Amino acid sequence: MKIFQKGFNVSQDGPGNRLVFHLFGCNMRCPWCANPEGLFGVPVEISDREIVRLCIESRPLFYGGGGATFTGGEPTAQFQSLQKVLTALKKSGINTALETNGTNKKLPLLFPLVDHLYIDCKHTDDGVHRAQTGVSNAITLQNIAAAAKKHQGLTVRIPLINGFNTDQRSLNDFIGFLSPLGIEAELLAYHEFGKHKWKNFGREYTVDNGTVDSDILTKFKTEIHSNGIKTVST
């Protein structure tokens, strides 16, 4: 696997204390990306066997229902290695979590190997989604719907960015898509943690005012919850 960061994190990338691997590479180009090193940095290559060994050796540290989390970048960009590692961890009884943009057609193959599945739903309108990320959302929506039927540990994450998906129409569309699926959602308000990183890579950070007002965030939470969609926070 090619990674750009690894380390322990508590309750932000799945439950409990987790060993988190940030995998290099991503098919999207979101201008608000907080981890541009996954696109522009220099990755470190660690063998699949070594990744598994590190996870097994860390088992005593996985308190609170912890385990191993694979995030990005976009982890499914390294699908073959990811599948191999997740299979080995499943056999070893290690709790696993996957954070993904959901665009890989083969994602359902990983459902049985993942205990906690987090899929981003950035926008339900394909044209808007494609314009901002460079990628269609069609497969993402299909994978969310499939996971809702087959995976008990699914959480859909909605990153809220002012000027992109915080208007009433976007809210209505999120509700219309998620409500029939009976799944939980997490709202993630925009932050500028990645802004200085873009500049460090000599790249332009083009988000001018992505901050979400607290009243908008409250409105989203209230209306989503009132339409039968459970909301969670990490």
Burial (0-12, 13-18, 19+ Cβ within 10 Å), 169: exposed
Cα–Cα distance, 106 to 110 (Å, whole number): 8
Look at residue 203 in the predicted model and tell me its pLDDT. 96
Q: What is the mean pLDDT of the chain?
A: 96
Residue 234 confidence (pLDDT) above 80: no
Look at residue 12 in the predicted model and tell me its pLDDT. 85
Q: Provide mean pLDDT across the span 41-63.
A: 97
Q: Provide mean pLDDT across the span 63-87.
A: 98
Q: Provide mean pLDDT across the span 178-188.
A: 95
Mapping DSSP to helix (H, G, I), strand (E, B) and coil, where does residue 146 land? helix
- What tens digit of pLDDT does each residue of 111-120 get? 999 999 999 9
Residue 151 confidence (pLDDT) above 90: yes
Reduced to 3 DSSP states, what percent helix, strand and coil does the chain have, rounded to the nearest 5? Answer: 40, 20, 40
Look at residue 233 in the predicted model and tell me its pLDDT. 77
Q: How confident is the model at residue 11 (pLDDT cuts 50, 70, 90)?
A: confident
Q: What is the domain partition of the chain in residue ranges? A: 2-226
CATH number of 2-226: 3.20.20.70
Q: How confident is the model at residue 232 (pLDDT cuts 50, 70, 90)?
A: confident
Determine if the pTM surpasses 0.85. yes
Percent of the chain with pLDDT over 70: 100
Question: Which of 87-92's residues contact partners 24+ apart within 8 Å by CB, and which partners?
Answer: 87/113, 88/48, 88/52, 89/52, 89/55, 89/113, 92/52, 92/55, 92/56
